[in-house]
Structure 1
């Protein structure tokens, strides 16, 4: 029995993952449970049969890894059939820079009629789209937090489409207005993220839904893994994306009878917007320090806040400048006959979700902290407490004892 202890536990772990994955996918799937259940149970039986042939545990794991890789390639590889782009119209929000700007260019090159919304018609991003885009590309100035501007964009779009519907809506516009611990973030920061990332996207989606339903088209929303997982120091941003993810998932169920496909794109870290702008990070840091009360700043410490800023800036520098994985998933979501409900765009996102979904909370939590912000400092108040526990803060301890003695003398 001892000789087979390790293979037995490896076998048990593999079967547990397969069966647990089957149950979870069936419960969470918005599609028919039958094919998913059959596939996972079939894989479980296959593992059992392979084990019966006394294959070594290491070889079995290698075979399972190869099978997973082949399945992943079949899911993410180029589609065998793709719908034509010609004659299809799509509206993309947030095209001043980043994913929206790159997607507008790529979809225009594919033959889409593109309506690209920007915050500033005189900005560099808008001018570049107007200069390099085809005659099919229309740039519209829209602040998605202003319902009047969204309604005007709807009227402008209808005027160009005539009796046609809108094939695609790409909800890309979004902001991350600050960084730092939730306690250090102003309520205005939380409201700012919600206003753009959730309520703004909600307003655009509701306004353009009749045109999407008319065309039996697609809705593609650019979200973030921060909406599903607790990234440290991104509470305001993550909360808004969590609301957006739930809204998008609900919308997918509701629009299925209408023949409308709804997809969510979850990118990894990319260089977009102000992420590589040193001045931007310094301004954010300065504004955060100025907004804190003296008592709160003393408890956390300015060095703690500065370290957070430096870590965010360092993380942004390492971000991928190639946005093509994200624009590629947008194209697939718009043109695939059966688009996926969720796209993991970029290296590491699928692994992150696998660990988050299947591993114990303690392990996934540690993985997330090590992956994102590797903080070395703790808040100043905790450092003081730690110093007291190991007898390092002797002056503070001495003062406390003196105060206690004085109080006792006064009582006497």
Structure 2
């Protein structure tokens, strides 16, 4: 009925269809992925009602990321209680000038239990109509970087007192108000909370500690309807005040202190010139952050406050040293737990210590 030519055409057509037998699972997987992504984005970006009448208390607002977060949340309509360590300085006064009348400056030293209690009393007495909706633990300190053997225990205690125990003091004080509103707690850590690099142990241990604290708190608060999120900024030292003249001079003084307290044997092992060179030079001037470049972090905090389904973690890439839009810290932190330890050690050593 069919000639040889028809057979050839049929056979060729079948051969052409063979790849589709293998491609269709890929197409199905692609469609499922697209539907999942679209559904996830919709689910994640379902926002709560208006921001007006909801209070948010933020620490560390007189400089850096806290300044940008406070300004952004104020623009969204929140009643911002801006916790400032030095309310008389230019950062706090600039924030007051640039924000609405809803913003309250609240003096606070997170190292001092009485100061935290006074801040809580002020916020409680000035709550907006919907109460306190969120607490953002942003205050932090970055001390001189050095090897573990050279760094004194006193230096670790200083870092812990601000970066770790500070958020604990604030959370314990403000939790009754957050439980009452079934609100949000947001702890600003760092990519250093996911991975560690040489010479940064005083900073890294505090950020790892705050991450684990947040994980415990998230599980404990779930029964009260309170959501706990972690925001992990990458490299933002170029656009905040963390490496201005005052902070750099403070870190050099800390190097001198560690050097004087070290034994002759340890001094011989760690030349002072190398320690000074290992600390980042002045990168910015003044205390007021570059707000526009800090917006990714501020937007992550806003999402954690406004979304009906906030993420547990927000990794927010910053700015790179070689290519501005590639943050090496953020890239490494994303793959840190996926790759072998020996490979990550090799990579981090080559990048941070220039080892071959």
How far off its partner does 1:154 sit? 1.0
Task: Judge conservation of contact 1:307–1:375 (CA < 8 Å) in 2.
Answer: no
Q: Distance in 1 between matches of 2:37 and 2:276?
A: 41
Matched, 1:322 2:280: no
After the TM superposition, which residues 241-390 of structure 1 pair with which residues of structure 2 at under 5 Å, given as runs? 241-271=207-237, 273-278=240-245, 280-292=247-259, 293=262, 294-309=264-279, 312-313=280-281, 322-346=293-317, 348=327, 351-371=331-351, 373-375=352-354
Structure 1 range deviating more: 278-287 or 108-117: 278-287
- Give the structure-1-normalised TM-score: 0.69
After the TM superposition, which residues 228-243 of structure 1 pair with which residues of structure 2 at under 5 Å, given as runs? 228-243=194-209
Task: Judge conservation of contact 2:108–2:116 (CA < 8 Å) in 1.
Answer: yes
Q: What's the counterpart of residue 37 of structure 1?
A: none
Task: Judge conservation of contact 2:229–2:312 (CA < 8 Å) in 1.
Answer: yes
Q: What's the counterpart of residue 9 of structure 2?
A: none
**Distance of aligned partners of 1:280 and 1:202 in 2 relative to their CA distance in 1, 3 Å threshold:** closer
Q: Distance in 1 between matches of 2:182 and 2:210?
A: 22
**Distance of aligned partners of 1:170 and 1:365 in 2 relative to their CA distance in 1, 3 Å threshold:** same
- Give the structure-2-normalised TM-score: 0.79
Q: Distance in 2 between matches of 1:221 and 1:351?
A: 21
Q: What's the counterpart of residue 82 of structure 1?
A: 47
Q: What's the counterpart of residue 127 of structure 1?
A: 93
Task: Judge conservation of contact 1:178–1:185 (CA < 8 Å) in 2.
Answer: no
After the TM superposition, which residues 4-15 of structure 1 pair with which residues of structure 2 at under 5 Å, given as runs? none
Q: Distance in 2 between matches of 1:184 and 1:74?
A: 52
Question: SS at 1:107's partner residue?
Answer: helix
Q: Distance in 1 between matches of 2:335 and 2:303?
A: 26
Question: SS at 1:313's partner residue?
Answer: coil
**Distance of aligned partners of 1:299 and 1:374 in 2 relative to their CA distance in 1, 3 Å threshold:** closer
How far off its partner does 1:137 sit? 0.5
How far off its partner does 1:77 sit? 8.7
Q: What's the counterpart of residue 179 of structure 1?
A: 145
CA deviations 1:165-201 (Å, max 9, x no partner) are: 3100001001112211111212111001111111111
Question: SS at 2:229's partner residue?
Answer: strand
Q: Distance in 1 between matches of 2:129 and 2:220?
A: 25
CA RMSD for the aligned pairs?
3.3
How far off its partner does 1:226 sit? 1.5
Task: Judge conservation of contact 1:220–1:333 (CA < 8 Å) in 2.
Answer: yes
How far off its partner does 1:308 sit? 1.1
Q: Distance in 2 between matches of 1:369 and 1:67?
A: 40
Q: What's the counterpart of residue 7 of structure 2?
A: none
Matched, 1:207 2:152: no
Question: SS at 2:166's partner residue?
Answer: helix
Q: Distance in 2 between matches of 1:263 and 1:70?
A: 26
Q: Distance in 2 between matches of 1:170 and 1:158?
A: 16
**Distance of aligned partners of 1:279 and 1:197 in 2 relative to their CA distance in 1, 3 Å threshold:** closer
How far off its partner does 1:302 sit? 2.5
Task: Judge conservation of contact 2:132–2:181 (CA < 8 Å) in 1.
Answer: yes
**Distance of aligned partners of 1:370 and 1:268 in 2 relative to their CA distance in 1, 3 Å threshold:** farther
Matched, 1:108 2:74: yes
Give the paired residue count.
318
How far off its partner does 1:64 sit? 9.0
Task: List gaps (5 residues or longer) in structure 1.
Answer: 1-49, 378-412
CA deviations 1:136-184 (Å, max 9, x no partner) are: 1000110011111111111111111177531000010011122111112
Q: Distance in 2 between matches of 1:342 and 1:273?
A: 22
Question: SS at 1:174's partner residue?
Answer: coil
Task: Judge conservation of contact 1:289–1:297 (CA < 8 Å) in 2.
Answer: no
Matched, 1:96 2:58: no
**Distance of aligned partners of 1:343 and 1:71 in 2 relative to their CA distance in 1, 3 Å threshold:** farther
Q: Which structure would you say has the larger RCO, counting Cα contacts within 8 Å and 6 or more residues apart?
A: 2
